[in-house]
Amino acid sequence: MELNVSELAVARGGVPVLEGVSFSVSAGEALVLRGPNGCGKTTLLRTVAGLQPALSGVIGLEREAMAYAGHSDGIKAVLSVRENLQFWADVFGTGTIDPALAAFDLHGLIDRPAGALSAGQKRRLGLARMVVTGRPVWVLDEPTVSLDMDAVAMFAGAVRTHLAGGGLALMATHIDLGLDEARVLDMRPFKAKAPSIDDFDGAFL
């Protein structure tokens, strides 16, 4: 299993934000995207995960291999922690939710409606969803928002277990996860250039 991205160009709201992005992530590896606010990390992750089309370039892996966790936690407020995870385990046909509960220390909250969880607990539940998908490629956008230090360590542990099982991870984060083995890709060199103006007068009309 390998995620090969080649010469990818992506846009948000019709405006090109990144171009010429190429990287590979092999089984057992994590790649962290770094760059200032607004540089296009979310846009790139959404494109790789198949949620929006690329302007150009190649993503050499089918989207069925991927599980995506974005800014929202993707949980149903009226369902309990157990019901939320069981729902996704059924959707992905993976069965057991115990490893996900253990990875994010959710056993003590199992019967609580997700809507009654704290922000950090909701985030842990949202990330536990990644475990129950059983998918090999985790695409994660700012996964540690709302997490305290212990929960960040829990998340790093879950990523390590995923990598050790042959999975891979692509993520954007502004904080140090303590995942020293992760490679880092600086997005700044890939900033899309403004299109050249052929018609100088027309640019003012």
Tokens found for residue 137: 């490629």
Report the distance separating Cα 18 and Cα 122, nearest Å: 31
Exactly one of 16, 19, 41, 132 binds ligand ATP (CB under 6 A); that residue is 41
Q: Are 137 and 170 in contact (CB under 8 A)?
A: yes
Nearer to ligand ATP among residue 104 and residue 190 (C-beta)? 190
What are the structure tokens assigned to 135, written together?
A: 């998918």
Q: Counting every residue, how long is the chain?
A: 205
Name the residue type at position 198.
D
| Tokens encoding 163 | 């990598």
Long-range contacts of range 117-120, CB-CB < 8 Å, 24 or more positions apart?
117/81, 119/146, 120/146, 120/147, 120/148, 120/151
Stretch near ligand ATP under the rule CB under 6 A, chosen from 21-29, 38-46, 117-125, 159-167? 38-46
CB of 40 to ligand ATP, least distance (A): 4
Does position 42 interact with ligand ATP (CB under 6 A)? The reply is yes
Binding to ligand ATP by residue 173, rule CB under 6 A? no
DSSP letter (8 states) at residue 175: S
Establish if 37 lies at the interface with ligand ATP (CB under 6 A).
yes
Q: Using alpha carbons, list the distances in angstroms from residue 158 to 14, 130, 167.
A: 36, 10, 11
Q: Closer to ligand ATP at the Cβ: 65 or 192? A: 192
Q: Which of 43, 84, 144, 173 binds ligand ATP (CB under 6 A)?
A: 43
CB of 35 to ligand ATP, least distance (A): 6
CB of 42 to ligand ATP, least distance (A): 3
Applying CB under 6 A, the site for ligand ATP has a residue count of 11
Determine if 48 is a binding residue for ligand ATP (CB under 6 A).
Answer: no
Task: Give least dist CB 26 to ligand ATP, A.
Answer: 24
Structure tokens at 98: 């115990």
Residues making contact with ligand ATP (CB under 6 A): 12-13, 17, 35, 37-43
